[in-house]
Amino acid sequence: MTTQLVDRTTAVRLEAVSKVYGHGGNGLLALDKVSLSVRPGEFVCLLGASGCGKSTLLSLVAGLDKPTQGEISTVGRQVAMMFQEPALFPWLTVSANVEMAFRAEGLSKQDRRTRAAEFLDLVHLGGFGKKRPHELSGGMRQRVALARALAQSSSSSASSAEEGAVLLMDEPFGALDAMTRDLLHDELERIWRERGLSVLFVTHNVREAVRLGDKVVLLSSRPGSVVEEFPIELARPRRTDSAEVAELAAKITDRLKEEVMRHGH
């Protein structure tokens, strides 16, 4: 059951959440009694072996699926999700792709276009509104996807401005080259701070998690459960190639390897 718990000290809370796919003896336990929280304005990264349920967890928080057991709350905050692929409509312009976030609000075409331009400016794509997705680089398409997610998080049904939205990100930069990924890390950190977002970010890249996160949550192999939480107390801004990031990433990687080996993978 999913409920909205009255708790303003958290932006996202999961209490003993389990997810089973299928029924009876053929059921597959994907998540097993996962409990974790994201504070308002916190950037939390999820790490774990492939198939441990990270993407499933994001889908549950987004409301795209329902848990088999447990409770999930986003405390009335608006929730937006950004996927591994940009998933842009190729026949629409960049502006029209972002404007899709406002369709349900009954805004005029001009108002939608104006608001879309504001979000494109936010991700440094001002002036690209009339382009089609195929005319953009992979990094630019991901910026459009980020602009659309931010637009979704700011819809008229969102809670008050004092309570930032929840942004769910499922390996959004995994397919990009190292330089583009590094630039988008900087952009995401800037936008996260400016807009007071609460972020739950899935990645396979341990250094990326340490570079971005306030906290890294390590999930076990299937069924996914919380193994350990690592607070990241390094000063910002951080560099992926810095000695401090590398040292902490190595520690977390060793713990991840222990968990994978424990399950015989």
d(CA 87, CA 192): 22
Query: Per-residue pLDDT averaged across 191-195, rounded?
Result: 92
Structure pTM? Answer: 0.89
**CB atoms near residue 209 (< 10 Å):** 27
Query: Per-residue pLDDT averaged across 118-123, rounded?
Result: 93
d(CA 160, CA 181): 32
pLDDT-based confidence at residue 163 (cuts at 50, 70, 90): low
What is the predicted pLDDT for the residue at 161? 41
Query: What's the pLDDT tens digit per position in 197-217?
Result: 999 999 999 999 999 999 999
Domain spans of the chain, in order of start: 88-158
What is the predicted pLDDT for the residue at 2? 43
Query: What's the pLDDT tens digit per position in 90-105?
Result: 999 999 999 988 877 7
What is the predicted pLDDT for the residue at 156? 52
pLDDT-based confidence at residue 5 (cuts at 50, 70, 90): very low
What is the predicted pLDDT for the residue at 3? 43
b/e per residue 52-89 (b: at least 16 CB within 10 A)? bbbbbbbbbbbeebebbebbbbbbebbbbbbebebebe
What is the predicted pLDDT for the residue at 101? 86
Q: What is the largest CA-CA distance in the chain?
A: 57
